[in-house]
Structure 1
Amino acid sequence: MKTLGSRQVLLGVLAVVLVVLAWVVVRAAQGPATPAGPSARDTTASGPSAGGTDATGGTDGTDPVSGLPWVAESALPTQAPETLALIRAGGPFPYPRSDNRTFANRERLLPPHTSGYYREFTVVTPGSADRGARRIITGNSGERYWTDDHYASFSRIREGT
């Protein structure tokens, strides 16, 4: 009977260890609790002038919700406002098999949300043989993000500016 009790205790301890290990793995996969800050790339030309608080509550050209730098719509390549207009109109999009599809945010550079919250749209790159690296990502709450390096970094788009 002593052997059976020892096996049960060992199995119980093993079960607790597995639960704790699973919890640690899930927490690590979720990333940091705070949104990622601006990337290391130079964003000085993309946001409002540095210093002070901007009109939306961000400081030094940073969106307070995402922690990402702001970029004025007018500072984007000429094809980006065209893509924004298509997004507002509901299409048609230049890459219908790829555009207006779920963006999974695997890089975890955008604020965390449930699956399906973000959509991605191609910004045409003249002379590129494929879709290129430029994208606009939209959130269900209307926010728009810009990447020109295929999701390595993002800026929050300040539309109408």
Structure 2
Amino acid sequence: MPSAKTLKALGTVVVAVIAVVLAMVLSSQDSDSSATAGSATSSTSASVATSAQKSSAQQVSSDAPARVLATLVEIDAGRWPDSANAVGTKGGVTFRNSEGRLPAVGAGGGRVVYQEWDVNPKKNGQGRDAERIVTGNDGSAWYTLDHYETFTRIR
């Protein structure tokens, strides 16, 4: 009988594989409609115009690394940062968007409230790295590899 730790690690691998497959399927569907619907992803260091973006429920970026998509699956399932099994991994804290690099207003006209999440589990004896996922109450999700300087829309 496998140990609980082995089963948990296996579960994490399965979730990561599902996230990658989901991203590939959604990204291939997105490429079929991108000619009429606009770009599915955007990288920005300035404010992003929401009118050029598609529905967040239908959009997943193929530009985001697999580990980012796997972490987003964990966030959506309500398991992150606990599933990281790493003390000091953070998630769910309010992200203020004080530089205005993300849209302040959602497609429905309401104010978007954001939360930030570590992408990677914190390693013992080291600080948290710069990679973050920022999720909005409008269903949007963004990835930054440089601690909020630039963002790539995941959905």
- Per-residue Cα deviation, 1:33-80 (whole angstroms, up to 9, x for no partner): xxxxxxxxxxxxxx99xxxx8268225954861768xx9544322321
Match of 1:157 in 2: 154
SS in 2 for 1:54: helix
Greater relative contact order: 1 or 2 (C-alpha under 8 angstroms, separation 6 or more)?
Answer: 2
Q: Could you say which structure has the larger radius of gyration? A: 1
Match of 1:122 in 2: 118
CA 1:107/1:130 → structure 2, altered by over 3 Å: closer, same or farther? same
- Per-residue Cα deviation, 1:69-103 (whole angstroms, up to 9, x for no partner): xx954432232122111111112404667311110
- More helix per residue: 2
Instruction: Pick the aligned partner of 2:78 from 72, 76, 90.
Output: 90
Number of equivalences:
106
Distance in 2, Cα, partners of 1:157 & 1:55: 19
CA RMSD of aligned residues (A): 3.8
Asked if the contact 1:102–1:116 (Cα under 8 Å) also holds between the matched residues in 2, the reply is no
Distance in 1, Cα, partners of 2:114 & 2:36: 22
C-alpha displacement at 1:155, in angstroms?
Answer: 1.3
Which consecutive unaligned segments of at least 5 residues does structure 1 have? Answer: 1-46
Q: Percent identical across equivalent pairs?
A: 34
Asked if the contact 2:41–2:152 (Cα under 8 Å) also holds between the matched residues in 1, the reply is no
Which consecutive unaligned segments of at least 5 residues does structure 2 have? Answer: 1-26, 43-47, 54-58
Distance in 1, Cα, partners of 2:117 & 2:145: 12
Distance in 2, Cα, partners of 1:67 & 1:80: 23
Instruction: Pick the aligned partner of 1:101 from 59, 78, 93.
Output: 93
Distance in 1, Cα, partners of 2:51 & 2:128: 26
* TM-score, length of structure 1 as denominator length: 0.51
Instruction: Pick the aligned partner of 2:135 from 138, 144, 147.
Output: 138
* TM-score, length of structure 2 as denominator length: 0.52
C-alpha displacement at 1:132, in angstroms?
Answer: 0.6
